[in-house]
Amino acid sequence: MKTFLSGRIFLILIIIVSIFVVYFFMNRSSRPSEISEEVVDSLKRTAPTVSKEEDDFLRILEQNAVSGGPGKDGIPAIEKPQYTTASEGNKWLQPNDIVFGVDYSDLVAAYPQRILVWHEIANETLRHDSGQAEKVAITYCPLTGTAIGFKGAIVESISSTFGVSGKLVNSNLIMYDRASDSYWPQILGKAINGAAYGRALEEFPIVWTTWERWKKKYPNTKVLSRETGFVRNYNENGDPYGSYIRDDKGYYGSDSVLFHPINENKILAPKTVVVGIRDEKRNAVAILKESLRRQKTIETKLGEKTIVVTYDPDLDFHKAHIKENPGNIINSFDAMWFAWVAFYPDTKLVQ
Amino acid sequence: MVELLSSILSQKRFFLTALIVFVLYLLIYLAAVGHLIFTSRMEQAESFFVIKILPNWRDLLFRQRSPFLFEAIGVIYFGSNIKLFISLPNLILATILGSLVGANIALSHYTFRKMGLSGSRGIVSLLGTIPPIISGTVCCVPTIVLLIGLQLTATLATAWSFFVPVSIGLLLFSIFWSLRKIKIGNYKTGII
């Protein structure tokens, strides 16, 4: 009887293992596809002209995309963000916790880094007074220290949400759009393959600041809730890469990078924070954030244009605009130097 | 083979060895993949034992985060400082791996006690237990890559996918090998 039972247990074990193996190979992507052929055809028909130089650049990025470990949507984007009040946020957020602040259209909200480190993208739909809905994505890449807001419109008539592809280039998050499955490295904000190849997404600013600073400036802010639809460790010590608060900063404070970047420049330590500004012609400027803190205002050239970057001490953040037209804001965001220079090797550096 | 394993594990001493190792491995594995969390900072707990299940648990039950790491569908809070993420496939995997590791150690214990054989081979066989522990991934990269500051290549990332099945294979092979050795030893010493 005993032998009979033991034999059965072994058999059951082998069957369970086989099921897992089969399941694994059959279900590499668990999210149903939302790609429509109509959308793909439409994007292909109206594809932008890409210069030879640009084409080479985008192809190199695509060829250097590597798997980070988790598969497509293995890092799940937050699809329907829930929010709480600031006073509710006070119960679990520390004053010096990093938050990504959004003040765009009628959305004023803080997205704690503790949550976005596990999701990297929050897809939100804004309802405008005109009745129109606008899809936007709040994105954060922990390995390159970049937070960028993207509008979901790939072209005027096609708007999409975004997911995490599981691939990285220069350690930077590669998003994919759910309308055409094209891949978009976050720092570039441009599609490197698929039907949207060569197109750029419109951006809106995201403020990298602390919870204390953000709620002081926006006392009525909403805060992204920990009810994300997923179970993750959103605790104070939950960031698997390290900490921006503790002395032991882990990945954020070390000089090592996890994936070999395409271009390197060791003039600064790899994780030095620079304010990155670029234009559609790939002109790029990196301003040492420490210098901006000291000088408050920096004027520099971005291609042919003169830009002015001003420091906001209340938020410890910055804004950039064209000198001749102060209303013409250009998106500027914090980035780790190694990642910025990997995408923009010809960047100007302001120290 | 199966009856030999069964007869060894039916002895209290070796069964206890297997059980202790099984429990320890289960805990280490769950902690390594980030599903068993010890929090230093107190969280508000309603009572000592609280279970919370996500409303969308059906969508997540078999959803993979990375190869052989599945989404949790809920949390069990043990007091204020311990959390266990509930993921059925992960618990099954952990049970399988824990059982195999437990059986391996129990067999090493047996060879050492009964046959005077060195336990070193048993320890070597435990190398097969390491891959699943380091197979856990965090956001973008495998945990161990962060811990030792390794630079990840495409080949290494691909190899990661096979850690768990390879490990199960190694452990099964190790059990088979140990049993074969015990059988030969028993035959020579006239135990059987």
DSSP A211-236: HHHHHHH-TT-EEE-S-SSS----ST
Give B90→chain A minimum CA distance, Å. Answer: 11
- Measured CA distances, A13 to A7, B90, B105, B173 (Å): 10, 14, 18, 14
Buried b (16+ CB within 10 A) or exposed e, A232-267: bbbbbebbbbbbbbeeeebbbeeeebbbebbeebee
Along the 351 residues of chain A, how does pLDDT read in single tens digits?
455 556 556 656 666 666 566 555 545 545 656 777 888 888 998 889 899 999 999 999 999 999 887 889 999 999 999 999 999 999 999 999 999 999 999 899 999 999 999 999 999 999 888 888 999 999 999 999 999 999 999 998 899 999 999 999 999 999 999 999 999 999 999 999 999 999 999 999 999 999 999 999 999 999 999 999 999 999 888 888 888 988 888 899 989 888 889 999 999 999 999 999 999 999 999 999 999 999 999 999 999 999 999 999 999 999 999 998 888 899 999 999 999 999 999 999 999
Q: For chain B, give every domain's residue range.
A: 2-34+88-189
Q: Mark yes or no for CB contact B139/A20 under 8 Å.
A: no
Dihedral sign for Cα atoms in the order A162, A166, A172, A176:
negative
Give B141→chain A minimum CA distance, Å. Answer: 5
- CB atoms under 10 Å from CB of B122, counted, come to 20
In chain A, residues with a C-beta closer than 8 Å to the C-beta of B66 are 69-71, 74
Q: For residue A236, give the nearest of B10, B41, B145 by CB distance.
A: B41
Q: Which residues contact A294 (CB under 8 A, 6 or more apart)?
A: none
Contact A332, A269 (CB under 8 A): no
- Establish if B96 touches chain A: CB-CB under 8 angstroms: yes
Give A191→chain B minimum CA distance, Å. Answer: 20
Pick from A237, A211, A245, A240: which is nearest to A84 by CA? A211
